[in-house]
Structure 1
């Protein structure tokens, strides 16, 4: 014969025990004359009486404290009502162990209730208030019952599945336990919930993770409320969802980021401390690897999916609308999903990110942080909260958090080109909430705060070459564009800061060359500089002009010859005249000597030239009413064939000049004197190796070796 909880029930609705939210107490509803008896007669129901049984187990939130009361409530075999008969004992040691002797019940179904103080896994302290945890069990084939959060959260659900949906007790219990675990991102079978122990096996790891997640950094009262709400949600639908769960996921993401040891993650490593606390309660023995279940929980709640070798460096967006990190982007690294690194400030604040091709930008203005200075617009703190802070030039240079930096002229120009270059359409694109998300936070123009709700102004790391001054990205009603302001020591300007992440870089600085290879130069006090590399016939060239600053007062990236010779980092050097000649001869159709050993190269045309839009042909400029951009002319041929990416001076957009390491007296005894050295002139009309006075300031390209 099968008992009433083993038999499919198709008769009336039997009310589920009420879950009292703040006390966590599960009470049986009283039976009434009108209530259906689910299992028929006692004989039909197959009720098995429990006689003179010793029931033991452990009760854990963390472990309940010695002296905590443990009660076994007798349940009616037909109605599952409490009969009023109970058997009491108490926790006997620091691991939460208990034993209840002489248990005699009218049926095999019992409710265990533990009521008392417990050890908090997150703080390591004894709780400041008491809680109640329950377990609904079948004692027919067991006399060991552990009471924990999984047994507690499953209790109401088991009752509903049996009483309202007609499931057998064993099927209902299995389903309820699976639903509880699934809500925490745990899909593997962990066995019966009454066998789970914080100190043992995979089930213990899962249980410890659930306990840490539900406790997190809240008081016992808030914890009690969370458990009650979750229990009611499970009882009703078998699912835990809502804003409360999203808060737990956000907390889990933050503590897991610290556990991973990210250099930009600040704060206490909560998971490491929780492990230490629990191991100390386990006589120093190690506890199961619960941290992975913390990770699985928030990844599951954010809808990020799997992260493996198959989708390494892929970007996914948090789709949980209740999360405070909704729409934040995460990248699949070897260690798993991580918020893109550019988005965490030194104070732990998380900045939303924006992906521009392979580059990762912060999509919020930098706030005042633990280490950065800054001023709020109109000196109002609320403006910092809305728009971020405004920074002086020297503050902006070092304000970005680890693994990110202030963008260069080239970075911002690339961003603008993504949307068409400049103008109102580009400004609209840069204001998009799911993109760069430029906010009109205004700036301090040297005299007053202006432009809030009208414009956004951002610092660039680059500054003027021949003219001393600074560059900004300005976005207003006219459009989006890069603007220049000449330096004036009597004028202090403050603008917003956006940071560009270094995630595209290989931290090992491997010298293998591919399309994304970048060299990181760490020498400058102003912050790391990054140089694209290109392999031309086995020679590794920097495809970016050298930007090493010798002095604090440096305000350009061109050098006299003596400084040019020592500008390249270790392992690199200023190329000789011969090395430049080899490169130019590879590109040119022919060459000829001109005077005193100088050389002119034919057919180079635009093959070494970077973006055609950066160049102006000064010969044709007047004839074309000031429209001198070479991209406007049909005769422009293929450019940048070798990825060498030559750009003109910002204020002489028809030529670029580079130093060689060759002294005129060494290369040509008929040269003018020791005051000259060889330089490379790359223009639209000609390419030459020529003599320049050593005090002339030219750009530097470095070559490997």
Structure 2
């Protein structure tokens, strides 16, 4: 969210929003080497607009707790360029209050930022995660600035209006405030947002508490951050909240909260803190947010692009379209004149069965509706961000393989709920299968598991019998799934920026770190690879939960502690997944002989330390792609050669270890005799992916093979190494 400020100001208004950099953006856009002077030219040096100002206020989601960091950063009121004027303080008590003395600025505008834990109105308790909120204000004639959810939501809109529309700061702020309130169906003229306080009476303060409650409603702290960022993404340029999925989730929560008495509990929580003399009447604004749906069929959705209405159905915890999509996506992609088709090129079949889409069309490869899958088509592997809207209407997305697998598992073999009309398909020789075949595209590429094609040419499709892979130029049907607050945004393998090698015999410039496992105090070297941080050593946590009918589920090679100390432990797949549920529930019950349901939309911790997770198939593919196209002395070299350790491989077939990853050939443990073998020959690493009840996915580095094997399927009762990835 705040990273967009840096992009817009420092990089010519390139809109790129990123939660990951929100906490550092205030530093990122200014430099001690910057010779410009905020508020004017270098000739203006020495002129100040604010001098020795003592500024105070309160920081509120609910109130931020004592010790939360507060910063004030200067910003030019006309250009909104950050300056190097920075003042720091902290929240003085659990009431959220702060005071910073001696603020001196060359321009009267400033960015306030608070970072810390807060007391949640919904639970009454202190959160276990930190968030950051921002306020953009003019300090002229002002000594009090409150930082809250409303100042945060208006932030990017103000920047857009000033920098792109040429509005004066005060006019931009007034417009943004009215637009933010309108987004929540709140009418009225209130004080500026930085004057509002959830612990004081009045409609403005009631509106603040109402929006704070609604944005949090039904969501954990991490999901609240995503909601705020998605709000900024859709709101900044238009002044309209276009994230219909989040609005629907909030509306559903509001209806339930009003009916269950949860709003009364929230009031009691706020009163119970003993801060407010009177809690403002926030309920009237919350309850108004529930739309009057008396004239709408709750089991239909209308595509605003062409006005077509589709039946919907809730299965499990997700709302699906109960009819095939019929949006006429006609953007030329995949070297075809049109990328969506009616069976036999007859519109009557579209009206009954919906359209047939190539995978590139289903994914919206030209980026017409979102950038989440732009460039995804035939002959390419691509980086995409889940959930992928693709060709689906706003607020809906193209289901992933995992979502289809979950749906099929819930439904069993029945298809009565989905009413899956057999629309047939379009292939290289024409159309076939009308009234016989039902195929739906997923948003998932083959990801190294396809046996006859690659992820550049193949993707998964679903039928009600299961999911398998097909060529991307085939034409299949599309069903969409409604977005909700639990959708996990995940960057996956594909067309990534290839990272240059950072390590030679003479120089090592790799970006290393360390990880200490709090469970046993062991410390591991880590290394940054592309956008992810990986362990640069094998995990050595002694997971000894009895699983898989064996006395122990992790082992030292040759049962010698010496090997564990040097090369880490070997884990059964059930141990790597933490099937006993010692650390998380994501892989509970997943072991040999079990075909368990996995949620590929959330990282799975498995046996990894807290804050880290077992790498998915997609993440191993991403790692492969990060280094795949780099070269040594102008010659292409496979990814495995670059990632293997420079020692330990038999016959001196050592790797180059160009990235500090150091994949060492520790070998593996076999079943049923528990023998150990292949030391010096192979490095197996478990991944988060399962073929069936007996077999699971691994990534392999082998002697004599310069390329990483990403389609390896091994029996789950073998024991392999584990590397973890930071969440």
- Over alpha carbons, which structure has the higher Rg? 1
Calculate the TM-score normalised by the size of structure 1.
0.39
